Every structure is written in C-alpha cells, then in structure tokens.
Homo-oligomer: A and B are copies of this chain.
Amino acid sequence: MLGSRKTNEMPASPARPAGTRKSASWTQDPDGVRRNILAVARDEFVENGLSGARVDEIAAKTSTSKRMIYYYFGDKEGLYRAVLEEAYARIRNFERSLDLAGLPPREAIVSLTGFTFDYHADNPDFVRLVMVENIHHARHLQSSPKIADLNLSVIDMIGEVYERGLREGVFREGLDPIDIHLTISALSFYNVSNRASIQQVFGHDMGAPEARERRRLSAIETVLRMLCR
C-alpha cells in the first residue's frame, strides 16, 4: 500500500525546479520557504511528537536546509510553536465559515456536529497535534499569543443557537453552551485520537469508511437527543 503517508512536498519556490534541490540559481521566496518548512515540520511533529521529531530529519525533507529552519524559527520549539499556531488558525477559519444563524436550531446543531466531526476525521494531523500539545500540558499554547480570543466564538455560536432553540421550545432548559461544545468535540475527537488503540484492543477500525459514517450519524443523533426535550 503506497502513499498512506504522503509527505507535504510543496516546492519552496516555483523557480527552483523539482528534483533539482539546492540548484545554483533561485528566486527569493522567503514565504514559500517558510511554508515548505512548516509543512514538513508539521508532518514530523505529528508523526513523532515534539521530543520525537528530529530537526535534521525535518531539514532533510525540506527543499532547503537546517540553516534556514534556525534562520526563520529560532529553534526547535519556535518551529513547533509556529506549526501549532498555524493549525489553530486553520480550524478557526473553518469555524468562521459556518453560518448557523440562518438555520433553524435543530438543523444548526446537526450541521455543526456534522462539520465538526468531519473536520476532525479529515484532519487527523490536527487531532494528533492537539494530543501532543496536551501531553506537554498545553505549555506552548500558553506562551503563544493570539490563541485565546479566537475559539470563544464557537461557544458564542452555540449559545446563540441554543437560546433560539429554547425560545422555539425545541431544546430543553438548563444546558451550558460549553458543555454542549465539549460533548460535540469529545465525540468528534476521540474516534481519531484513539483510533490506533481501539483498533488494537477491539479489532475495530474507526477509520474505515462505513465505521466512520455510522459513528458520524451516531454522534449527531446523540447530540440531538442531548439537546431536545
């Protein structure tokens, strides 16, 4: 089975022909180099964790050199922090793209749960990065600015939908938006984060398309039942 682990190649600059790494002539493309390093680094951190990842290995897989990693990111932790920030920026973007205000409460919850589930299933790298970060007690999230403010928007979104559902009489009272979010997240996260151990212990592959689809429907149903009267 080939290509199960496809490395994010992404040439640093279009002017540097693929296969001719480190050729004599190149176009200045600091942003491309940065992105290239970040993509490779994410793969490595996701695969081996923070301590497990090797700077030399990352360097070897980029179109540039180890020198550039330190040039742009300072040190290994700086690189890791950049990877982490990018990952969180992405999911924020995703969440912003949701427009629940236009949907009836029930449909809004179905949509939110489905999208959240899919985002996790489609982006195991994000899930694994969050796992790695939690092993490190989220120390790097802490030292990183601009992460705190963003994700509160999800809670606000849920709060708005929940209020609406309450007024329309479809949702039951006494629920906490954070609790709702945690439930949706837990049901979306766990299948991906614990896929390997579940596979080993139960011989059940959560990644298989049918299993995933069944689990998706189950998650949506569960969240609905949690909310509705």
Chain A residues engaging chain B, CB cutoff 8 angstroms: 48-52, 128, 130-138, 141-142, 147-148, 151-152, 155, 176, 178-179, 182-183, 185-187, 189-191, 193-204, 206, 214-215, 218, 221-222, 225-226
Q: Which residues of B contact A152 (CB under 8 A)?
A: 202
* B141 touching A200, Cβ below 8 Å: yes
* B204 touching A148, Cβ below 8 Å: no
Q: Which residues of B contact A204 (CB under 8 A)?
A: 178
Q: A138-B200, A225-B226 are in contact. List 16 more A-B contacts (CB 8 A).
A: A49-B51, A52-B52, A130-B194, A132-B135, A134-B195, A141-B197, A148-B200, A148-B201, A155-B202, A178-B202, A182-B191, A182-B198, A186-B186, A221-B226, A225-B225, A226-B226
> Could you tell me the distance in whole angstroms from the C-beta of A45 to the nearest C-beta in chain B?
10
Q: Which residues of B contact A198 (CB under 8 A)?
A: 182
Copies in the complex: 2
CA gap between A96 and B206 in the complex, in Å: 25
Between A and B, 23 residue pairs with Cβ closer than 8 Å are: A130-B197, A131-B134, A131-B135, A134-B197, A135-B135, A141-B197, A141-B200, A142-B200, A147-B201, A148-B203, A152-B202, A178-B204, A179-B218, A182-B190, A182-B191, A182-B198, A183-B218, A186-B189, A189-B190, A222-B225, A222-B226, A225-B225, A225-B226
CA gap between A194 and B141 in the complex, in Å: 12
